[in-house]
Structure 1
Amino acid sequence: MATAEQIKALIRSHLSDDSERFFTLALQVAAHEAKQGHGPLAHEIRDLVDRARSEKKRRTVQGLPTELDTLIEADLPGVPLSALVLPTSLLDRIHRVISEYRQRDKLRLHGLSHRRKILLTGPPGTGKTLTARVLAHELRLPLFTVQADRLVTKFMGETGARLRLMFEMIREREGVYLFDEFDALAAGRTRDNDVGEMRRVLTALLQFIEGDSSDSIIIASTNTPELLDHALFRRFDDILSYALPSDDERKRLIANTLGTFRGSRFGWKTAIDGSKGLSSAEVVEACRDALKEAVLGDLKNVSAIDLNRAMSERHHGHGGQRRSESTNSL
């Protein structure tokens, strides 16, 4: 049977309406049962999770325009606000987006509208996509992730037509719309590789964003804000800038991810020093790698030394080392 800690964690995730955490914990229970020799039960638990996830996805994607169904990833995220580990100033602004949406009718009575066009900028893995998932969950809206680079085609006028369909969907189907890699659509008009068709696409994009008055939340995300056309910035209600996590933020990420696998004598200084220069996503991925090693090795805890070994792999294999070297050269 599942351990007492697993049962308590399952209950906590259910009460907090964190479906993804619930699914993850259920799969951990399945792995535990398989290890105990209860193969049929483990298989049944995994099958239940797979079916629940498939049904969740099916409900979300119903009714997508045929022309856009290969360009949009639809989801119903179960990521609560507590999952965001960010500076207080940034969290306050995210809280403000949520509060204004929930009280949008009150704002309308005074001729005001809620913040709903948000630009997120910053290095990869710093929490931009996670923020969109959290907003969708907190506002009880589906998340539609638009692959902006795939919207662009080589055929004259087709990209503009797709954009028109996209903004019709934004108007008719309320949700959180994340335009990932936004610079693929919105690069500045003075760039050397600019062509007439992309100038027309950018002009249309500016008009669509400015003219949209739906209740949907539009989120544009970019790792390279310097490439964006300057006229775009004033079309957004808020611009949130993300950065690599601080020492305190990395400590919270490690504590949250390792959970009960972090022993009472965990070497925090070693872990925090070893994670310096990594993005939030890389810290979490390294923690999960260390967790896997502990589980497969039948260990009760993850030591800071084990974690630093996983952190080192992220430094060397995912660009962290290069980022640290470039930082030191400044």
Structure 2
Amino acid sequence: MTASGEHIKALVRNHAAGDDAAFYAVALQVAAKAARQGHGTLANELKRVIEGARSQPVASKVTAIARPRGDLADLVTAAFPNVSLRDLVGPPQLKDAIARVLHEQRQRQALSEHGFAPAHRLLLEGPPGTGKTMTAAVIAHELALPLLTIRLDSLLSKYLGETASKLRAVFDAAASQRAVYLFDEFDALGGHRSGNDVGEARRILNSFLIFLEQANAESIVVAATNHRSILDHALFRRFDVAIRYELPDGAQASEVMKTRLGPMGRGIRWAAVQAQASGLSHAELVKAAETAAKQAILRGEKQVTVADLTEALQERRAAGSE
């Protein structure tokens, strides 16, 4: 037999944990063992299958939940992000927190065997445009899962009076289909119950707290908010991890723009633009870099100048102050 018992157990564990990289690594070990045993044809076939599976788009691997129907059709939008953890710019402690969540999810079966659940309820809070939504996309991509965004505006306006039942439909989907479920602008749902005179709104939040408490650890529920101060305090203890986002410092701002500009940013003296970047969010910095790049392209040039970037940053700052 080409695959040893240890190989087979490792394949099963990695498949169950959703760790594709480890799964393929073990599969390649099986192929290498086959080659050493003189089974060259089998080894080559295994390698072709592995490479083919690796190159298969994530979108083709997910099930019909990516096309929400029924109760979810008007509430959920699906995406298959292609952004990795290394693309996220932020302080080391933020990236470490996300890496820990990913590691626990990839090893969720091992944790379950000892009576523990992986971190699967995340609260992301901080100013707009600082990477909260991108973090949900990173988690989805790294775990090869679809990202399902719940449209809270529809939930709270179109379905007022039956919101709790719609929330239940979302959490039922989370229990049956492994995915990342993002509740963006969560403060619309999670405001202080004591400050809300509408009984229906209080019932909605109470329902969410119950559903969140009972949420299946197979899926990841992410709530993103710009306004921590208005969130009901009962929410915080229901989340496994709370991550705080801040506006980027000078070095991070330069990294955000450098990443977006790519080769067009070569030659930029980043220290010369950091002062203009101060106080802008990640999203605003990306927009400024794009504006500068388009200006250079329209002039027929292949590189952005400091003047291009400075002007674009000043425009973003002026737009934000209006």
TM-score interval, normalised by the smaller of the two chains: 0.7 to 0.9
SS at match of 1:251: helix
Contact 1:251 1:268 in 2 (8 A): yes
2: distance between equivalents of 1:155 and 1:262? Answer: 47
Corresponding residue for residue 162 of structure 1: 166
Amino acid in structure 1 at the alignment position of 2:281: S
* Sequence identity percentage: 43
2: distance between equivalents of 1:62 and 1:177? Answer: 12
Q: How many residues in Structure 1 have an aligned counterpart in Structure 2?
A: 267
Query: Aligned in 2, Cα 1:57/1:224: closer, same or farther, shift over 3 Å?
Result: farther
Corresponding residue for residue 98 of structure 2: 94
Corresponding residue for residue 299 of structure 2: 297
2: distance between equivalents of 1:159 and 1:117? Answer: 21
- Measure how far apart 1:270 and its partner are: 2.0
Task: Indicate yes or no: 2:241 matched with 1:238.
Answer: yes
> Quick check: 114-123 or 293-302, which moved more?
293-302
Contact 1:56 1:76 in 2 (8 A): no
Query: Aligned in 2, Cα 1:62/1:84: closer, same or farther, shift over 3 Å?
Result: closer
- Measure how far apart 1:224 and its partner are: 0.6
Task: Indicate yes or no: 2:214 matched with 1:211.
Answer: yes
Amino acid in structure 1 at the alignment position of 2:234: A
SS at match of 1:74: strand
1: distance between equivalents of 2:263 and 2:66? Answer: 39
Amino acid in structure 1 at the alignment position of 2:310: N
Amino acid in structure 1 at the alignment position of 2:186: F
SS at match of 1:291: helix
Contact 1:270 1:305 in 2 (8 A): no
Contact 2:174 2:216 in 1 (8 A): no
Contact 1:60 1:142 in 2 (8 A): no
Please list the CA deviations of residues 301-328 of structure 1 after superposition, one character each: whole Å capped at 9, or x if unmatched: 10111111111111111x2x46xxxxxx
- Measure how far apart 1:251 and its partner are: 1.3
Contact 1:244 1:277 in 2 (8 A): yes
SS at match of 1:85: coil
1: distance between equivalents of 2:65 and 2:172? Answer: 16
Task: Indicate yes or no: 2:129 matched with 1:125.
Answer: yes
Corresponding residue for residue 118 of structure 2: 114
Corresponding residue for residue 314 of structure 2: 312
SS at match of 2:122: strand
Please list the CA deviations of residues 2-26 of structure 1 after superposition, one character each: whole Å capped at 9, or x if unmatched: xxxxxxxxxxxxxxx9xxxxxxxxx
Match of 1:196 among 176, 194, 199: 199
- Measure how far apart 1:64 and its partner are: 1.8
Query: Aligned in 2, Cα 1:155/1:148: closer, same or farther, shift over 3 Å?
Result: closer
Contact 1:60 1:74 in 2 (8 A): no
Please list the CA deviations of residues 94-138 of structure 1 after superposition, one character each: whole Å capped at 9, or x if unmatched: 000000000011111111110010000000000000000010000
Corresponding residue for residue 189 of structure 2: 185
Task: Indicate yes or no: 2:176 matched with 1:172.
Answer: yes
Contact 1:77 1:133 in 2 (8 A): yes
2: distance between equivalents of 1:150 and 1:208? Answer: 19
Match of 2:274 among 272, 275, 283: 272
2: distance between equivalents of 1:186 and 1:118? Answer: 14
- Measure how far apart 1:244 and its partner are: 0.3
2: distance between equivalents of 1:99 and 1:226? Answer: 30
2: distance between equivalents of 1:291 and 1:184? Answer: 36
Contact 2:84 2:142 in 1 (8 A): yes
Please list the CA deviations of residues 173-198 of structure 1 after superposition, one character each: whole Å capped at 9, or x if unmatched: 1100000111111111111x421111
- Measure how far apart 1:74 and its partner are: 0.1
Corresponding residue for residue 263 of structure 2: 260
1: distance between equivalents of 2:306 and 2:240? Answer: 42
- Measure how far apart 1:62 and its partner are: 4.7
TM-score w.r.t. structure 1 length? 0.76
Query: Aligned in 2, Cα 1:156/1:146: closer, same or farther, shift over 3 Å?
Result: closer
1: distance between equivalents of 2:298 and 2:220? Answer: 42
Corresponding residue for residue 82 of structure 2: 78
Which of structure 1's runs of 4+ aligned residues deviate more than 4 A? 55-63
1: distance between equivalents of 2:269 and 2:227? Answer: 36
Query: Aligned in 2, Cα 1:273/1:62: closer, same or farther, shift over 3 Å?
Result: closer
SS at match of 1:244: coil
Corresponding residue for residue 9 of structure 2: none
CA root-mean-square deviation = 2.2
SS at match of 1:125: coil
Q: Compare CA radii of gyration and give the structure with the larger one.
A: 2
Query: Aligned in 2, Cα 1:198/1:295: closer, same or farther, shift over 3 Å?
Result: same
1:139-158 equivalent positions in 2, closer than 5 A: 139-153=143-157, 157-158=161-162
Amino acid in structure 1 at the alignment position of 2:256: L
